[in-house]
Structure 1
Amino acid sequence: MELFIYEHCPFCCRPQMIIGLKQLDVAIGIIMEGDVETPTRMVGRKVVPILRKDDGSFMPESMDIVHYLDQASAPAVISAGNKAAIDAWVERVWPLMLRLCVPRFTRADFRELATDEARAAFIAREIKAFGDLQALWDGTAEFLAQLQPRLDELETLLAQGPADTLDESDFRLFPALRSLTIVKDIAFGPNVRRYVADRAARCRVALFDGKAL
């Protein structure tokens, strides 16, 4: 099997988590930004992630891929249910996370941005979605000030430490927090730092600290 991703994409992080957690033999392929033809040929539209199954068919949608991979290799490891408070936190923070991360994603080194053409296509796509990227960059201090009370809330939600098993909420929370590691001045509290480090290690998913801007 092969998983096609953008390295920066939080949705692509989800299936990477289950692959690393279960140490599955799934190759990772990169779709270049600006490449509409490849994903459209696979699943009929420009989208990532995409899983090529062993039978040659293709599957989109990140959580569908997560559950398929979990069930394909016994035993399944994702705990039933989710954490409503965590899911609500992610939903509230997601737009703010994007304002901080998107301008940094466009400047950082990712394999899907390895050519000038790919980076230009990505920048154009994000300008269309989010407007003036320089204005977002310049708003970093304000956005971080807005985010900090939310991170303080998360400290309380994660006070008991990382659970031994992962549920669906982990596949929403960790990708959001991983994305935020690209923000150089992010101030995670000790509980959040412990959670991020634990999930990154368990799932064998690299953080963006080394690319932080």
Structure 2
Amino acid sequence: MKLYIYDHCPFCVKARMGLALKKLPFELEILMEGDAETPTRMVGKKIAPILQKDDGSYMPESMDIVHYADQLKAPRLLDGSTDEAIEAWVKSVWRITIRLAVPRFVEGDFPELATTEAREAFRAREIRAFGDLDALIEQSPEWIADINHQLQALEALLAAHKGLNLADFSLFPVLRSLTIVEGVKFGPLAQAYAEHFSAKTGVALLDPA
């Protein structure tokens, strides 16, 4: 199998988690930003991640890929259960997380941004989605203070979190995205959690940018 991704993309992290935690062999393929032709040829639109199955067919949508991987061999990792408190936490921080991460993703050292053309295409796409990226950077101190407060609250949720469930496919991608933001401070349980899933999945945490 081959998984087409953007390295920075939190939705792609979900798909990588699913394949890696099942210990399935797969090849990672980086889609370049600005390349709309490749994903459109595969699934009809510019999107990532995309899984090319062993039969040559293509599957988009991160959690569809996770569930597909989970049914390929026993035992199943997921039984449909989730941790509602952690899902609610992720939902509460998502808007700020993405606004902190996006302008730093644009400047980050990612393979999908290896050319000037790719980086500028990505910058233009994110400006269309989020507006002035410099303005987002200027608002960062307030948002970082908010995220750090929320991360303190996450510690109690992680202390009560038992076993792998669907919430982990929401939480780890968000925490990984936050590792690119200088000044964000994980508590000890959040740090251990992020490092654990990074090691288990081969999805490296990010350096502050």
- TM-score range (shorter-chain normalised) is over 0.9
Alignment-derived partner of residue 2 in structure 2: 2
Instruction: Give the Å deviation of 1:73.
Output: 2.3
Q: Which residue of 183, 186, 200 maps to 1:185?
A: 183
What is the CA–CA distance in structure 1 between the aligned matches of 2:79 and 2:152, rounded to whole Å?
26
Give the structure-1-normalised TM-score. 0.94
Residue aligned with 1:59, SS: strand
Q: Which residue of 155, 164, 167 maps to 1:166?
A: 164
Q: CA deviation digits over 1:152-211, x for unaligned, max 9?
A: 211111124x64x42110000000001000112111111111111122222222111xx3
What is the CA–CA distance in structure 2 between the aligned matches of 1:135 and 1:79, rounded to whole Å?
43
Instruction: Give the Å deviation of 1:97.
Output: 0.1
Alignment-derived partner of residue 212 in structure 1: 208
Instruction: Give the Å deviation of 1:80.
Output: 3.2
Alignment-derived partner of residue 126 in structure 2: 126
Residue aligned with 2:55, SS: coil
| Deviation larger for 85-94 or 140-149 | 140-149
Gaps of 5+ in 2: none
Give the structure-2-normalised TM-score. 0.96
Alignment CA distance shift 1:79-1:195 (3 Å): farther
Alignment-derived partner of residue 27 in structure 2: 27
Does 2:111 match 1:111? yes
Instruction: Give the Å deviation of 1:85.
Output: 0.9
Alignment-derived partner of residue 201 in structure 1: 199
Supply the RMSD in Å over aligned alpha carbons: 1.2
Instruction: Give the Å deviation of 1:74.
Output: 2.1
Alignment CA distance shift 1:139-1:92 (3 Å): same
Contact 1:79–1:166 under 8 Å retained in 2: no
What is the CA–CA distance in structure 2 between the aligned matches of 1:71 and 1:205, rounded to whole Å?
22
Aligned pairs, number:
209
What is the CA–CA distance in structure 2 between the aligned matches of 1:30 and 1:200, rounded to whole Å?
19
Identity of aligned pairs, percent? 54
Contact 1:34–1:118 under 8 Å retained in 2: yes
Instruction: Give the Å deviation of 1:67.
Output: 0.8
What is the CA–CA distance in structure 2 between the aligned matches of 1:113 and 1:200, rounded to whole Å?
22
Alignment-derived partner of residue 39 in structure 1: 39
Contact 1:20–1:205 under 8 Å retained in 2: no
